[in-house]
Amino acid sequence: MDASALDNPFWASLQTRHAALAVRHVCEAARYPAEVAPFLGVANAGVNADEAIAPLLAPGETVLMLGVLPQLSEVWKLETFRPLAQMVREQPLPVVDGPEIIALDESHRADVLALVALVYPHYFRPRTMEMGRYFGMYVDGRLAAMIGERLGTDTHVEMSAICTHPDFTGRGYARRLTAFLGNDTLAAGRTPFLHVSYENPHAKALYERMGYRRRRDIPFWALQRA
């Protein structure tokens, strides 16, 4: 699968890396279980939302869409956000010194959920860790920073949930984790990518300093049945 799949990343991920998580009514649309992620994708812009998407949503539920929007009737409420910067990195990065990086598993779930609730609350759900591998660093017995894998295809893996506890910012932990996981992804023959909001210029500037380049600005929406 080539990089063009990143133009429709929710759909591409649900067809490949996360096919086992995909919830469908018809073949042209798929979503993640609500407790995993509020993401839904469609095969193309010609998909009829009334037929393909409506049966997948609970009453009043909102889902997020990225890159490709289906055909919508008047029964849908659409909120358009500012596009996200989609960024990629094709070369390894130096890994700065810092605390030991460990794999995060079920035994760390409570710490992970507490950290994301504090600094990354928007899209993380109780089962989000099922989307990929997660890594973190503990300092003085506390989860100081973490990173994980989210979307992906056969050739690309998204870096996500890159966050640092406010008590530990300014120590280069996010840079250390991003370099570590990005390099591991490259070593496995895949390209790391990420999405960052223009409303978070500090994070965007960090990724730019690390050599991530903007591949494109990708449209971003919230969709709900009116």
Domains identified in the chain and CATH numbers: 3-83 (no CATH), 87-217 (3.40.630.30)
* Sequential pLDDT tens for the chain (226 residues): 467 899 999 999 999 999 999 999 999 999 999 999 999 999 999 999 999 999 999 989 999 999 999 999 999 999 999 999 999 999 999 999 999 999 999 999 999 999 999 998 788 999 999 999 999 999 999 999 999 999 999 999 999 999 999 999 999 999 999 999 999 999 999 999 999 999 999 999 999 999 999 999 999 999 998 8
Would you call 220 helix, strand, or coil by DSSP? strand
What pLDDT is recorded for position 1? Answer: 44
Strands 191-196 and 156-164: parallel
Name the phi and psi angles at 200, rounded to 5. Answer: -120, 70
pLDDT for residue 57: 96
For residue 195, what are the β-bridge partners?
86
* Confidence (pLDDT) at 121: 75
What residue type is assigned to position 142 of the chain? R
pTM here is 0.94
What local confidence, expressed as pLDDT, does residue 122 receive? 81
Amino acid, single-letter form, for residue 71? Q
| Euclidean distance between CA atoms 134 and 132, whole angstroms | 7
What is the pLDDT, as a whole number, of residue 2? 61
d(Cα 216, Cα 214) in Å, to the nearest integer?
6
Tallying the residues shown for the chain, one arrives at 226
Position 225 scores a pLDDT of 87
Q: What is the pLDDT of residue 113?
A: 96
178: alpha, beta or left? (left if phi > 0; alpha if psi -120 to 50): alpha
Calculate Rg over the CA atoms of the chain. Answer: 18
Q: What is the pLDDT of residue 226?
A: 80
- Alpha-carbon distance 221 to 38, whole Å? 12
